[in-house]
Amino acid sequence: MTATTTAQRERILLSTPDVGPLEERAVADAVRSGWVAPLGPFVDAFEERVAERCGRRHAVALSSGTAALHLALLEVGAGPGSVVVVPTLTFAATANAAVYTGAEPVFVDCDAGSGNLDPELLEQALATLRRNGERVAAVVPVDLLGRCADYERLLPVCERYGVPVVSDAAESLGARRGSRPAGAHGLAAAVSFNGNKIMTTSGGGMLLTDDAALAQRARYLSTQARQPAVHYEHTEVGYNYRLSNVLAALGLAQLSRLDEMIARRRRLRERYAALVDAVPGVRVFQRAGDDADNCWLTAVLVDPAEAGWSAEDLRAALDADDIESRPLWKPMHQQPVFAGARSFLDGTSDRLFATGLTLPSGSALTDDQVDAVEGSLRGFLGRHR
């Protein structure tokens, strides 16, 4: 046997960082420049480029997308005694950011086709909260798996109730909704450059807004709320949330490859669709109208009654072939940490969680790895016909 046939194949993961020589050079350049701090020319340039890409006037580079959400929520006055409306189908960071401010997260269910915040349920939630005389500090729509939320319908609802929108665009950088890019919706938006996202700075995020005062205050709060005095004067409590100049250099390199990385993820989705489209009871999630999405993660939805097998059966089969797949985000209203939280539900997120499975979607997957996933999936489908 040759070395290649006996070599252990590495486990194939859902979404790993797609970095190479360009990123390596960028990081080395930043280190050599001497700006190894949470400020510097790469931070400024990165903010400018992301603002431009997202159609925003201002961008503040931060240590994470969660930090961006936290600061945006503080800016709109979220705090003890207020409520922040969050979709239940999201990553915990969206709800956690609300809790950091002292506000109470209230969860709202999603639309079945996109998995994004349902405008009608949102309206019901806001009407109920208003009747109760509660102060709603913000609504935080999430662009699930890289599909922008339905802002054309969500924004007018929020406007009618006088509630500001903070868009959680952590998963959707590079996507569009109508003529507007992800990150351009609402009073402010948060993007993420975590290691598993469409592009990465290993860890990082950005707050985007057209409001100069909001951006300036976020910048101030993110640097320990330091007053402009040589002796470090502080009149309020701040945070250490700025992004390192070294990581901003990495981000600039990644941003120059964003479109290429999106195209690769889209091709992967198309291959999955070609495999499952003819399988009864199985379809690719968010497939309708996905040309404006960034295809961050591709998931399939499995109706076990029709397919004769479940998403969990497929997950176990892929796992046996050393291929990672995962259910969609477990809804927040099902999470022990948010037990007892108020929710406006219609069963959609529960159903998506029970039937959805995210497949390896990373742009760094090699052709061999993609072939291996496809082979495993094809084998499973063949055995379950």
Ligand X SMILES: *Cc1c(COP(=O)(O)O)cnc(C)c1O
Torsion angle defined by CA atoms of residues 63, 66, 69 and 70, in that order, rounded to the nearest 10 degrees: -80
170 sits near ligand X (criterion: CB under 6 A): yes
298 sits near ligand X (criterion: CB under 6 A): no
**Least distance to ligand X from the beta carbon of 3, Å?**
38
Rounded Cα distance, 219 and 61, in Å: 9
94 sits near ligand X (criterion: CB under 6 A): yes
Cα angle 36-42-44, degrees, rounded to a multiple of 5: 120
Q: What is the CA radius of gyration of the chain?
A: 21
**Least distance to ligand X from the beta carbon of 39, Å?**
19
**Least distance to ligand X from the beta carbon of 17, Å?**
13
Binding letters toward ligand X, positions 119-158, x by CB under 6 A: -----------------------x----------------
Amino acid in position 207: L
Rounded Cα distance, 218 and 337, in Å: 28
Q: Which of 93, 182, 218, 300 binds ligand X (CB under 6 A)?
A: 93
Q: How many residues bind ligand X (CB under 6 A)?
A: 14
90 sits near ligand X (criterion: CB under 6 A): yes
Residues 148, 129 contacting (CB under 8 angstroms): no
Within 265-294, the residues that bind ligand X by CB under 6 A are none
118 closest CA partner among 94, 138, 142, 84: 142
Of 27 and 297, nearer to ligand X (C-beta) is 297
Measured at CB, which residue is nearest to ligand X?
Answer: 65
171 sits near ligand X (criterion: CB under 6 A): yes
Instruction: Give the sheet arrangement for strand 356-359, strand by strand.
Output: 282-284, 298-302, 356-359
Determine the length of the chain. Answer: 385
347: its two tokens = 């069963």
Amino acid in position 224: Q
Of 194 and 298, nearer to ligand X (C-beta) is 194
Q: Which of 15, 54, 64, 157 binds ligand X (CB under 6 A)?
A: 64
**Least distance to ligand X from the beta carbon of 89, Å?**
10
Element containing residue 77 per DSSP (H, E): none
**Least distance to ligand X from the beta carbon of 169, Å?**
9
Binding letters toward ligand X, positions 199-218, x by CB under 6 A: ------x-------------
Residue with tokens 């506000």, as numbered in its chain: 103
105 sits near ligand X (criterion: CB under 6 A): no
**Least distance to ligand X from the beta carbon of 353, Å?**
15
Q: Which stretch binds ligand X (CB under 6 A): 4-12, 104-112, 167-175, 297-305?
A: 167-175
**Least distance to ligand X from the beta carbon of 262, Å?**
16
Q: Which stretch binds ligand X (CB under 6 A): 87-95, 255-263, 316-324, 375-383?
A: 87-95
Helix or strand or coil: residue 172? coil
Q: Which of 17, 65, 164, 183 binds ligand X (CB under 6 A)?
A: 65
Rounded Cα distance, 324 and 330, in Å: 17
Residues 377, 298 contacting (CB under 8 angstroms): no
Of 208 and 370, nearer to ligand X (C-beta) is 208
Q: Which stretch binds ligand X (CB under 6 A): 59-67, 106-114, 127-135, 243-251?
A: 59-67
Helices (H), the chain: 3-6, 21-33, 41-53, 65-75, 92-100, 119-131, 151-160, 212-222, 245-255, 258-276, 304-307, 311-320, 348-355, 367-383
Of 71 and 282, nearer to ligand X (C-beta) is 71
**Least distance to ligand X from the beta carbon of 253, Å?**
18
Which residues have a Cβ under 8 Å from the Cβ of 70 and sit 6 or more positions away?
A: 97, 100, 101, 239, 241
Strand partners, 323: 12
Footprint of ligand X on this chain (CB under 6 A)? 64-66, 90-91, 93-94, 142, 168, 170-171, 192, 194, 205
